[in-house]
Amino acid sequence: MNEEPKDIKSIFAEAIEKKSSKERAAFLDKACGADGDLRSKVEDLLRAHSQAGDFLEEPPIGSIVTLGDPHLTEGPGTIISRYKLLEQIGEGGMAVVYMAEQKEPIRRKVALKVIKLGMDTKQVIARFEAERQALAMMDHPNIAKVLDAGATETGRPYFVMELVKGVSITEYCDKNKLNTRERLDLFMQVCNAVQHAHQKGIIHRDIKPSNVMVTLLDGQPVTKVIDFGIAKATSLELTEKTLFTRYAQMIGTPEYMSPEQAEMCGLDVDTRTDIYSLGVLLYQLLTGALPFDPEMLRASGYAEIRRTIVEDEPPRPSTRLSSLGEEAKKVAESRGTKIALLVARLRKELEWIPLKAIRKDRTRRYRSAAEMSDDVQNYLNGAPLIAGPESTLYRLKKSIHRNRALVISIFSILAVLLAGIVVSMVFAVRAERQARISQAVSDFLRNDLLGSADPWSGRTEGATVVSFLDAASKRLEGKFADEPLIEASIRYTFGSTYHHLGRYSEAENHLRRCLEIRRDRLGNEDFETLNCMRELGWVYRELGNNKQAEMLLVEALEGMRRTLDKEHDALLSCMGWRAGLYFDQGRYDEAERLYAEGLEVIQRKLGAEHSWAAVYMHWIGVVYQNQRRFDEAEKLLTEALDIRRRTNGDLDSETLYIIHDLGLLYSDQERYEDAERLLAEALEGRRKVVGEGHPETLRLMGTLGRLYRRQGKLDQAEQLLSECYRKSREVLGEEHPTTSDLIPDLAVLYYRQGKIDEMAALTDNVVEVVRSGLLDESLNPMMLHMIHSLGMWYLHIGREVEAETLLGKALEVRRRMLGEEHPDTQASVGMDYFRRGQYDKAEPLLIKALEDERRKEGQEVPPLISIYNLALVHHRQGDYDKAEPLLVEVVELSEGVLIEGHPDTVAAMNELIKLYEAWEKPQKAQEWRSKLPRKKGTEEQ
Amino acid sequence: MSDVTRILFAIEHGDAQAVDKLLPVVYDELRLLAAQKLSQERPGQTLQATALVHEAYIRLVGSEGQNWNGRGHFFAAAAEAMRRILIDNARRKQRQKHGGDHQRVGLDDADIAIEEPSTNLIVLDEALTKLANEDRVVADLVKMRYFAGLTLGQAAEIIGVSRRTADRYWAYARAWLYQEITKSEKPPSQ
């Protein structure tokens, strides 16, 4: 049969390629010749070929291999050893769980878990036996005991456990809409259970929601961790042969698997793997999502899953939640809360707990389940957490390790940035401006540089850079003892970075030492020395040490003038700073002169239309504004704005500052509509560019709010100012100047609205601080004026204790600071007599004080209380004719300033009525009585 | 280096006995893989021989051997392994159908169920055995193409023939096997 297999093959092959039967026959005649046997064989094959259709073309498996019933042999009724299976209660990739009945030695119901996967049953049971004693020692209300193990008749391993009737912890929490607190309570039970097991030497290795059940005991939810000891027994040694098994198991629940487990160097898994899984579980309980998207995980291959778990940093829970979109709404709902609240709660520390637990490096996780539970308790108690963001240095190190190129590029940007700062400082000419730049720089560093490199960037302002600098500063000490100039330049870099991050005392420390070294080594006229001098001078100004600031800035400026080209950037910058100091000191002429000199250089060097020219014009405009040279100011600011809009666009930060200042100028000129239009534009721009909670946006909200208030749009003002105050407290904190500056603003507003309680709520703190004496050192005439006025208000509303504190403090400090004869002191003395009822002595002093007050320009609220007080003094002394016009004036002035029916207006009217009655002018009294707002009846007595 | 890689290298370097070592390893892994794959899936889910074999290759040899000649031996072994797995299953099913061994199916008889194939695998296998006696290379090609799901191009590369030759072999094998099967079952209708 097989004499000529090759021939038959090729004859057949050629034959089927012949187009027609005729051709084919001719071919066969030739090929087979006389061999009839061969010929018939080939013809049989050719016939078969034509009949075969798609024979064998469809593979035998593909569509035809399907999953058979994997547990066809076990089912309800099957008896396995001492257990009779009752019903199937669960099924996973790896196992089927039955409720089973045990008859002896005791009758009870148990859970019996049959492992589906193919594995070496003997080994599984041997491993289980090895741990059996330890398992038996576990006795904890939150652990379901594993009672027995064995092999089914089909040779599969099975485990017998305490039967837990309940649902998985995640399902329970979501179904019952447990809030965060309730979830944390349950979670702590889980921690305690795991801690107990760990103490007995048992690692779970497979903690996940389906292994943490919640059951009700006397109506109270109790967690039960099931499957202790099973994962270990069923995990196989790592050999090439068992890789599949591990892979298949891993496919089951990679989301909860620690990096060390995923790496499958399985020998080395310890209790910290459970801490990791607990972290993922907590993450899920809090956010409803897993650190890594399960769908994405599963879509990738095994190697990618492993890489993700081992390398990728999971997003912060709050970030993950925000990324859920619509889903997040449901998540919040099932926790009985709102998304924003949930995110805020997570941001406010809670999320650091799961993040600490799921760190890749297990030495940086919680050391035990108990520690993790303690930290949850800390959170609930409002105590400081053990967990926190990874230290910057650690993260930097790690990202250097991970991604060298990225980090190098970050540092090069940082270097460019530091160089850029020198140039940008040209424009930093006064405190506010300085603060703006610091903020911008720190935002930039935090968000754009480090933030992009690391999703766990620091919580506090500039924290990442600052902590990096702090750590680096410490290591700088003594390191360059032989290379003082290198030390000096590092200190200069650190110092100026600290400076721009607003850390002035650290900046001062570095810059001062830099300057010492440079003076010593390079001399006083060296460029490097002068540069450092200039920087340190401005830092002293930030620290409030104007004397030192001026000394250094003057020295630096003079040195630079002597040694540098007139157009040198550093000289320009130094001039700007020197001018800023003049500006602070109110020496506007000198400030203007220096700015103008700078402007002239810029215009000559860079052109009149250059964006820098706009900046200098802007600041000169601000000087004019402060000198109340409004027309000149307007001209400059408008021109600056034009240039800047053209060169840098409408949303450029400097453009927005110019708009802001121009708005303020219009406001000063009482051109409220123009002012409102500009300020609203600036606010809109800020919101667009830096967002709602940014200090700059807040500052603008404040400005616009004040403008509304000035215009008497009190409701709009209140809306904006109170929102601004709330946000500012939230974002910047109670102590921040932007926040505290809002207090007097809101106070004036509330005063005008007659909202006494709201106002007192704000100002009571002031009383406290004044009483404490903490401010005594730093009080200045301006602040004393505020304290005095506030004291008058407290007296006016009848809160004499507070009034005495404030008025007394003002009197005491004014006497000491300004001397007895100073008008302010005299006003205080006047109020002192007034308070004691010594009206004759008070009278001349109050008259004088009121004259001074009336002379003040641009007051939003006239000195109503002072006028009223003086009227009282006249009235009490029987000088009706002097009191009358004053009281009428209070009523008239209050119109449009105070809301209708304001208590002060009413008080003045009542006082007038009393006066006319005492004066025996009943008609006049009646006239005023009829003007009183409605509730006449009570007022008439 | 994994066991399988080592064996494949040994084969490459002329160790004839190594071939015998390869088959059991590949067979075990494929069975286990198939069983686990299937147990992960819901009933009714399907599975592709090609995917299975390639995955077994990646697991056993690793991706570094992607373009390496030794893989021909692996796929040959995998094809043979797949044939055995499928035939074993078909035999077992047949036993069950005949009311025979209704007892448990142990782990060693994986939980793979094969739906009634369009071709009677047992009969096919008998025919294939005959063909192998007559022409080993053509039979190997069938195993690779049919049981391991390789393309003719891949099979050609492994056997070391041209694609055109492989096409011819395949046509020949189909005709040969069809003839053999139809002859033994019933006379062809025509």
pLDDT at A636 over 60: yes
Nearest to A528 by CA among A518, A520, A513: A518
Dist CA A879 CA A863 (whole Å): 21
Does B135 sit within 8 Å of A61, measured CB to CB?
no
Å from B99 to nearest chain A CA?
A: 16
One domain, residues B92 and B129: no
Q: How far is CA A903 from CA A751, A754, A759, A894, A932, in A?
A: 10, 6, 14, 11, 11
Does A69 sit within 8 Å of B43, measured CB to CB?
yes
What count of CB pairs under 8 Å joins A to B?
Answer: 182
Dist CA A3 CA A88 (whole Å): 63
Which of 18-77 (B) contact A at CB < 8 A? 25, 28-29, 32-50, 59-60
Nearest to A245 by CA among B48, B59, B52: B59
Per-residue pLDDT tens for A665-683? 998 888 999 999 999 999 9
Whether residue A92 contacts residue A234, with contact meaning beta carbons closer than 8 Å, is answered with no
Residue-range domain boundaries for chain A = 5-51, 164-381, 389-585, 586-669, 689-752
Q: Name beta bridge partners: A95.
A: A115
Does B39 sit within 8 Å of A240, measured CB to CB?
no
CA nearest to A118 within chain B? B107
How many domains does chain B fold into? Answer: 2
Residue A451, token pair as written in the block: 């933030």
Q: Decide if A61 touches B, using CB distance below 8 A.
A: yes
Q: With bands split at pLDDT 50, 70 and 90, how would you rate the model's confidence at A544?
A: confident
Residue position matching structure tokens 């390079």: A522
Whether residue B169 contacts residue B146, with contact meaning beta carbons closer than 8 Å, is answered with no
pLDDT at A285 over 60: yes
What number of CA atoms fall less than 13 Å from residue A356's CA on the CB side? 23
Note the pLDDT of residue B184: 61
Dist CA A376 CA A385 (whole Å): 8
Chain A CB contacts of B33 under 8 Å are 244
Domain that holds residue B133: 117-190
Per-residue pLDDT tens for A754-778? 898 888 888 887 787 788 776 676 6
Does B39 sit within 8 Å of A117, measured CB to CB?
yes
Chain A CB contacts of B82 under 8 Å are 61
Helix (H, G, I), strand (E, B) or coil at A73: coil
One domain, residues B124 and B179: yes
Chain B CB contacts of A154 under 8 Å are 104-107
Chain A CB contacts of B173 under 8 Å are 56
Interface-testing mutation among B111, B123, B180, B181, with chain A (most A C-beta atoms within 10 A): B111
Dist CA A204 CA A358 (whole Å): 16
Neighbour order of strands in the sheet with A146-151: A79-80, A83-91, A95-102, A108-115, A157-162, A146-151
One domain, residues B33 and B88: yes
Note the pLDDT of residue A862: 84
Q: Which residue stretches of A627-669 are H helix?
A: 630-648, 653-668
One domain, residues B88 and B54: yes
Residue A545, token pair as written in the block: 């040490």
For chain A, what percent of residues have pLDDT higher than 90?
24
pLDDT at A229 over 50: yes
More confident residue, B177 or B3: B177
More confident residue, A430 or A122: A122
CA nearest to B169 within chain A? A9
Note the pLDDT of residue B51: 66
Q: With bands split at pLDDT 50, 70 and 90, how would you rate the model's confidence at A59?
A: low
Note the pLDDT of residue A155: 65
For the stretch A3-23, what's the b/e string if a residue is b when 16 or more beta carbons lie within 10 angstroms of its beta carbon? eeeeebbebbbebbeeeeeee
Residue A465, token pair as written in the block: 């850079």
Whether residue A463 contacts residue A327, with contact meaning beta carbons closer than 8 Å, is answered with no
Q: Which CATH superfamily is domain A586-669 in?
A: Tetratricopeptide repeat domain (1.25.40.10)
One domain, residues B171 and B89: no
Q: With bands split at pLDDT 50, 70 and 90, how would you rate the model's confidence at A414?
A: very low
Q: What is the mean pLDDT of residues A38-48?
A: 86
Does A49 sit within 8 Å of B39, measured CB to CB?
no
C-alpha distance across the termini of chain A, in Å = 137
For the stretch A737-758, what's the b/e string if a residue is b when 16 or more beta carbons lie within 10 angstroms of its beta carbon? ebbbebeebbbbbbbbbbbeeb
Report the topology of domain A389-585. Answer: 1.25.40
For the stretch A510-546, what's the b/e string if a residue is b when 16 or more beta carbons lie within 10 angstroms of its beta carbon? bbbbbbebbeeebeeeeebbbbbbbbbbbbbbbeebe
Angle at A309 between CA A305 and CA A315, to 5 degrees: 115
Note the pLDDT of residue A387: 74
Does A49 sit within 8 Å of B32, measured CB to CB?
no
Q: What is the mean pLDDT of residues A617-634?
A: 90
Does B106 sit within 8 Å of A49, measured CB to CB?
no
One domain, residues B126 and B39: no
More confident residue, A596 or A137: A596
Note the pLDDT of residue A444: 40
- Asked which of B92, B115, B138 is the last residue of a domain, the reply is B115
Q: Do domains A586-669 and A689-752 have the same CATH topology?
A: yes
One domain, residues B110 and B126: no
Which of B38, B147, B176 lies nearest to residue A67, judging by beta carbons? B38
Residues 6+ apart with CB under 8 A from B187: none
One domain, residues B11 and B80: yes
B9 — phi, psi (to 5°)? -65, -40
Dist CA A276 CA A291 (whole Å): 12
Does B112 sit within 8 Å of A65, measured CB to CB?
yes
Residue B11, token pair as written in the block: 């084969």
- Asked which of B90, B115, B140 is the last residue of a domain, the reply is B115
Does A51 sit within 8 Å of B38, measured CB to CB?
no
Q: What is the mean pLDDT of residues B64-92?
A: 68
Whether residue A620 contacts residue A597, with contact meaning beta carbons closer than 8 Å, is answered with no
DSSP A933: -
pLDDT at A510 over 70: yes
For chain A, what percent of residues have pLDDT higher than 70?
78
CA nearest to A156 within chain B? B107
Residue A626, token pair as written in the block: 């402060």
CA nearest to A251 within chain B? B40
Torsion A345-A347-A348-A353 (CA) sign: positive
One domain, residues B54 and B146: no
Q: Decide if A464 touches B, using CB distance below 8 A.
A: no
Å from B162 to nearest chain A CA?
A: 14
Per-residue pLDDT tens for A461-488? 333 455 556 666 666 676 667 667 777 7
Dist CA A279 CA A286 (whole Å): 11
| DSSP assignment of A256-301 | G--HHHHTT-GGG--HHHHHHHHHHHHHHHHHSS-SS-HHHHHHS-
Å from B79 to nearest chain A CA?
A: 12
Note the pLDDT of residue A441: 43
Nearest to A283 by CA among A294, A295, A296: A294
Helix (H), strand (E) at residue A79: strand A79-80
Which of A5, A59, A244 lies nearest to residue B36, judging by beta carbons? A244
Q: What is the mean pLDDT of residues A181-197?
A: 93
Q: For A226-230, A345-349, A868-872, which range has the lowest pLDDT when averaged over its residues? A: A345-349
More confident residue, A894 or B53: A894
Report the topology of domain A689-752. Answer: 1.25.40
pLDDT at B106 over 50: no
Chain B CB contacts of A119 under 8 Å are 107
One domain, residues B100 and B126: no
CA nearest to B62 within chain A? A240
- Computed over every residue of chain A, the mean pLDDT equals 78
Dist CA A809 CA A833 (whole Å): 15
Does A63 sit within 8 Å of B107, measured CB to CB?
no
Which of B104, B105, B175 lies nearest to residue A52, judging by beta carbons? B175
Which of 788-807 (A) contact B at CB < 8 A? none
One domain, residues B30 and B88: yes
Which of A62, A154, A240 lies nearest to residue B149, judging by beta carbons? A62
Å from B23 to nearest chain A CA?
A: 14
One domain, residues B167 and B84: no
Chain B CB contacts of A16 under 8 Å are 171
**A932 burial via Cβ count (<10 Å: 0-12, 13-18, 19+):** middle
Dist CA A211 CA A253 (whole Å): 11
Neighbour order of strands in the sheet with A212-217: A167-168, A212-217, A220-225
- Asked which of B115, B132, B161 is the last residue of a domain, the reply is B115
Catalytic residues of A: 206
Report the topology of domain A164-381. Answer: Transferase(Phosphotransferase); domain 1 (1.10.510)
Residue position matching structure tokens 């964006």: A611
Å from A155 to nearest chain B CA?
A: 6
